[in-house]
Amino acid sequence: MNIAILYGGKSGEHEVSLRSASSVVRRIDRTKHTVILIGIAKDGRWYLQSQKELTRVFADDSAFLRIDENPACLVRIFPGGGSNAALQCAVTLEGKARKTDESCAIQTDIVLPVLHGSYGEDGLVQGLLEMAELPYCGCTALSSALAMDKEQTKKVWMQEGLQVVPFVCIKSADIIQDGSAEQSGGFEKFAVLAEKQFGYPLFVKPACAGSSVGAAKVNSREELEAAVQNAFLWDEKVLIEQCIDAREIECSVTGNAAISASGKTAVTSYTPGEIAPTHGFYDYDAKYTDPDGARLLIPASLTDDELQRVKTIAEKAYRALDCSGLARVDFFIDKKDGTLYLNEINTLPGFTSISMFPKMCEAAGLSYAELIELLLEQGLERFKKRRALKTSFV
């Protein structure tokens, strides 16, 4: 198959995507598939990358993919074009200009987005691919958007009776007065509420960002105000959460929740892992840049019953959002009383060489290469079933 890898992106996690995509392309079975690289620049433009870029990354295990922003290699996407015409470019995969009478189509059997954060993990790209009639791996536009919004995710989980970390949500309109940047009494109200309900320390994070971008642990009103202001640089909603002295547990889940009750594409959870950060908390550096930023324990140091409980709740959380393809479900276990809290869910989790998602799958017997094949199979299955649905009375 021809697999188009989308990577980079208009996101604060652009560099993380370059690392993840580099790991993914190295593990795709090239005897069965042709890899097409489409890099998305920080301004959101899509560029077809030369096969030479693949060769460079294959030759050096420490190399990360780059994006050549050659204007001649801009990719256009056409609604309704399908695998044969949706993606078009004026140059070939070898980087040569096409002849005047030559088709500009990039033949694409399925798209594998390796994008993290805004404009990639939030349903926008998924919606675009739906309109283009292109099969793709991972969650749908709806579940991606829902899972990206931590406030809405928590509301759905609470409705399902699942325990989440207590929080307060602030919207920019709550603290902006007359359209200016001056804070109104709104911040004071939310600060007092969080202090009264939770006390310090507190966690502050953008509602719709990942990889701990814009997140901070605070110990005073002054730090809280600064952290909220910083978080609003990344999103229009900010969460203030109770800081729980907790162990951090993660669980990988795959499957098409809405359409598969059995077989390879049914919802499946894998061996839970545990994060033991050496930083103050599991921040961006600990996740992606510092090889000693955390100890990754797989399986997590839990009893068999506790491991099974984590897996069961991870599957419930996944199904509650109608996820498909893959997601990593993150938990806290309170060190004081053992309470298990759902923290958040990532529908396009990190795929770097030190990322937990593929490692937890491998611990359960699903290799990285087999995981990619499963994601491709699930994406094609969902596309086939969704396209069989009626869209007209005529």
Q: What is the pLDDT along the chain (394 residues), one digit of tens a residue?
A: 999 999 999 998 999 999 999 999 999 999 999 999 999 999 999 999 999 999 999 999 999 999 999 999 999 999 999 999 999 999 988 888 888 767 899 999 999 999 998 899 999 999 999 999 999 999 999 999 999 999 999 999 999 999 999 999 999 888 865 444 344 568 899 999 999 999 999 999 999 987 678 899 999 999 999 999 999 999 999 999 999 999 999 999 999 988 877 788 899 999 999 998 776 655 556 555 566 667 899 999 999 999 999 999 999 999 999 999 999 999 999 999 999 999 999 999 999 878 999 999 999 999 999 999 999 999 999 999 999 998 988 8
User: pLDDT at position 293, please?
Assistant: 66
User: pLDDT at position 262, please?
Assistant: 78
User: pLDDT at position 179, please?
Assistant: 44
User: pLDDT at position 180, please?
Assistant: 42
Give the global pTM.
0.91
User: pLDDT at position 199, please?
Assistant: 95
User: pLDDT at position 279, please?
Assistant: 62
Which H, E and C letters describe the chain, residue by residue? CEEEEEEECCCCCHHHHHHHHHHHHHHCCCCCCEEEEEEECCCCCEEECCHHHHHHHHHCCCCCCCCCCCHHHEEEECCCCHHHHCEEECECCCCCECCCCCCCECCCCEEEEECCCCCCCCCHHHHHHHHCCCCECCCCHHHHHHHHCHHHHHHHHHHCCCCECCEEEEEHHHHECCCCCCECCHHHHHHHHHHHHCCCCEEEEECCCCCCCCCEEECCHHHHHHHHHHHCCCCCEEEEEECCCEEEEEEEEECCCCCCCCCCCCCEECCCEEEEECCCCCCHHHHHCCCCCEEEECCCCCCHHHHHHHHHHHHHHHHHCCCCCEEEEEEEEECCCCCEEEEEEECCCCCCCCCHHHHHHHHCCCCHHHHHHHHHHHHHHHHHHHHCCCCCCC
